[in-house]
A and B are shown apart, each in its own frame.
Chain A
Amino acid sequence: MSKEMKLIAEWTYKPSDVVRGYTNQTLFVNVGSRKFAAKPVSEEMKLKFTGGRGFDLKLLWDAVNENTRWNDPENEIVISGGPLCGTTQYPGAGKFYAAFISPLTDQTYDSNSGGHFAPLLKLAGFDALELQGKAEKDVIVFIDGDAGKIQILESPFDDVNAYTITEALHEAFSDGSNDDKRFVSVISAGKAAEKSLWGCLNSSFWDIRRKVARLKQAGRGGGGTILRDKKIAAVVVRSHKLSGDINKAVDVQVLQDRGNKLHREIHDLDAQQCRMRTVGTPHLNEIMNEYHLLPTHNYKFGQHPDIDKIHSNVYEGLFTQGIPDGCWYGCSLACAKAVDNYTIQTGPCKGKVVTVDGPEYETVASLGSNVGVFNPQWTIEANFYADHYGVDTISLGTGFAFVCECYERGYITKEHTGGLDLNFGRADDLMELIHRMAVGKDEFALAVGQGIRKMKRIFADRYGAPYEEMEKFGMEGQGIEVSEYVPKESIAQWGGYFLTLKGPQHDEAWLIFMDRVNKQLPTFEDKAEALHYFPNFRTWFSLVGLCKLPWNDIEPADNATAHRPQDAAKVPEHVQNYVDIFNAVTGRNISKEELVLMSERVYNFQRVFNLRMGKGTRKDHNIPLRALGPVYPDEWLAREEYYDNELKSVGVEPAGLSVEEKIARLQEARLTQWEQLKDAVYKRRGWDRNGIPTVRKLKELGMDFPEVVSVVEKHARPEDQWKD
């Protein structure tokens, strides 16, 4: 098929070899001006930004200015793996990280995905890819690592939905054989990414056992929306240089030793620990329910009597077993579960028999319990269409949950929804809304796709819905929807979700057990310490190209007894593994402490980047009231004794108070605690009272580049500096 695609522009280059994890050059493609370039990677860039998300943000900083909005041509999607990406000896090393100015948050966003794209991009000779500009009509960007050429091709596809275009492009850019298709990877979005701000980036790998293209997602932040705004139908990379030592590591033996040890742990212990190899992340379904953390009915409740219908055992039965489900070679954790031979029941693919990736826990909750649907078949179908149409399942589900509550409360009616009954649990009508969003069928479908923050305003302006009430239960922070854990049970998790760089996504810190159940974080200073360490430790995965799951979703047999509880939570042996494999690949000699320092550099750089974009201050760290506690009587009454005790813990005697009064008093106390948490966290992170990194902190980190310091100096105010 490649011959059928009209060549628009072509550029040839000399593929750079990988040495110690780096190719030492990045690729720039502007689909509007049709300009191409290879940019050198300096030693300083490696030292300060490491790779992956660090490279993304550095390149994005250089590409945009403070006035750039998401749909301006200079906005970029920057994609990078990192120096460990492509490692086959240690599990979880196939991730890429994409960064861009988000259509949802108007600041930087970073989102990650498994699949084969980043390792193949590295083999094609590049540490990162910058996509800039806007094409006049749909194009395919083809990176041919074998021939050393980049092409912009006219897209021949009328249907840009992900499964359609991905299968076709694996066919088109291979010799057509099952084996050869694995040397190709495709990034795509889909039709709904054109009509909503929730567009995701689908990233493929060819599953040679199933003989189908599998799709993993950099789901969050609207990257797919930007891809389609640039009229890029897909980005294709091809390289046949796959080998067992892609990164040309300094010491392969260390990689093998650490990898073999972890493989043994996974083999021996996974069945008793998280069951990642048989059920993957849905092992959490009933656990989250038991601890009142499974969001149901728009985070009103954390438990539901129908939990058995979505129990992990049900999903285990639906997932095909006995197939190594790693999304990159060498990942024995193998959590990329799939449902095979699923017959689509609705929409344009009705009747087709397909393989559906997932659902992951997040999707079981978002397109399941949170919208009041406890039917795995429906969730699987919704998951398929979300991927196919190119929308993020988390924002979609949390957004729909908000819509359902607005409908339940009578703020919107069938008159507004185009005849759809959008009460919680109305599975058929919710599925129909997904299809309507994909084609932008009507005003309402388009409004929903704008995300909760804009929906609140639209519903108020167009339909007369009460804005202040919707503010209470619209579960978004910084403009993006909350992922799928009930946050109102843990003060530390308020920070894990809402004192983040990009909004309430669960990839910075998940502290609910440490805080709420283990009681390991009794003071604000304890919580702040955790909100310093974990976000920075976890940022490191995004710099080097690793998946987080092999860190703590499997642990050594003696982890719980060999270390004091506070230390055991960090899984010290695995952290040491990361230090060892980083040094083994790159030849550097970092320590555990320097690992966190590497992250802190990029974390603070990203915070200043957001400041540069007009965000990144205290007021931008917003939190909806439902994240702090119950906002309506039914929430309180569902756990009356529990919440009465919560009220007592803040010094208020509940006897004699009405439920409404209790809610108001608890909210009042928790808002005070929220501000106390902000102070403690900002202080620990080396930020001022307004949440801005201090120049002193930047100097300490070696990130005091003049252009970075000047942003801070422009915004920092004397009254926000700490007195002590």
Chain B
Amino acid sequence: MPVPRISGRTSRVITVNGEGLDWHEGMTVRDIIRARKFTFPMLAVWIDDSPVSRGAFDTTVVPDGATVQIIHMISGG
């Protein structure tokens, strides 16, 4: 059953790079990276416009309804 997060809004979904992803309680950045099979090591992660350091991927919990950007840094082959 959807859980209210912000008054007047319910959610069980987050947005990752513009696409929806089912959210669960306690979901970490690392969980998303695994779910999306992002194996590239040079990732930049932003949650709702705040950066997350690479050392904190395992411990940073993603809130319900968050907008997450997982940026692969390589820009040249």
Contact = CB atoms under 8 A, between A and B. Distances in A.
Contact of A555 (B39, B42, B46): B42
Contact of A551 (B39, B43, B52, B76): B76
Contact of A560 (B39, B54, B76): B54
A695 to B, nearest CB: 31
Interface stretch (A33-41, A97-105, A510-518): A510-518
B71 A520 contact: yes
Interface majority SS on A: helix, strand, loop or mixed?
loop
A561 B57 CA distance: 13
Contacts of A569: 71, 73, 75
A527 B19 CA distance: 19
Interface string A107-134: 0000000000000000000000000000
Interface string B8-20: 0000000001110
Contact of B41 (A274, A506, A513, A538): A274
Contacts of A538: 76
A568 B76 contact: no
A565 B75 contact: no
Interface residues of A, number: 37
A513 B44 contact: no
A485 B39 CA distance: 17
A519 B18 contact: yes
Contact of B76 (A290, A483, A552): A552
Contact of A514 (B40, B42, B51, B75): B75
Given A506-B77, A518-B69, A565-B69, A272 B18 contact: no
A510 B46 CA distance: 22
A507 B41 CA distance: 22
A149 interface: no
Contact of A286 (B39, B51, B54): B39
Contacts of A274: 41-42
A670 interface: no
Contacts of A364: none
Interface string B45-77: 110000111100000000000000111111111
A154 B69 CA distance: 62
Contacts of B46: 565
A413 B75 CA distance: 41
B77 to A, nearest CB: 4
Contacts of B34: none
A565 B42 contact: no
A519 B17 contact: yes
A518 B70 contact: yes
A513 B40 contact: yes
A519 B53 CA distance: 21
B75 A290 contact: no
Contacts of B52: 561
Specify which of B51, B71, B77 lies most central, judged by the most chain A CB atoms within 10 Å of its CB: B77
Contact of B72 (A517, A551, A571): A517
Interface in B23-45: 37-45
A287 B40 contact: yes
Contacts of B17: 517-519
Contact of B53 (A511, A518, A561): A561
Nearest to B39: A290
B76 A555 contact: no
Contact of B51 (A511, A522, A560): A560
A534 B41 contact: no
Nearest to A554: B42
Given A518-B17, A565-B46, A273 B41 contact: yes
A559 interface: yes
A615 interface: no
Contacts of A571: 73
Given A517-B17, A518-B17, A552 B41 contact: no
B71 A552 contact: no
B51 A272 contact: no
A386 B51 CA distance: 46
20 contacts: A272-B41, A272-B54, A291-B40, A483-B77, A506-B77, A507-B77, A510-B75, A517-B38, A518-B17, A519-B19, A520-B71, A548-B76, A560-B43, A560-B53, A560-B73, A561-B52, A561-B53, A565-B46, A568-B73, A571-B73
Given A273-B42, A555-B73, A570-B75, 18 more contacts: A274-B42, A506-B76, A506-B77, A507-B77, A510-B75, A510-B76, A513-B74, A517-B17, A517-B38, A518-B70, A519-B18, A538-B76, A548-B76, A552-B76, A560-B73, A561-B44, A568-B44, A569-B75
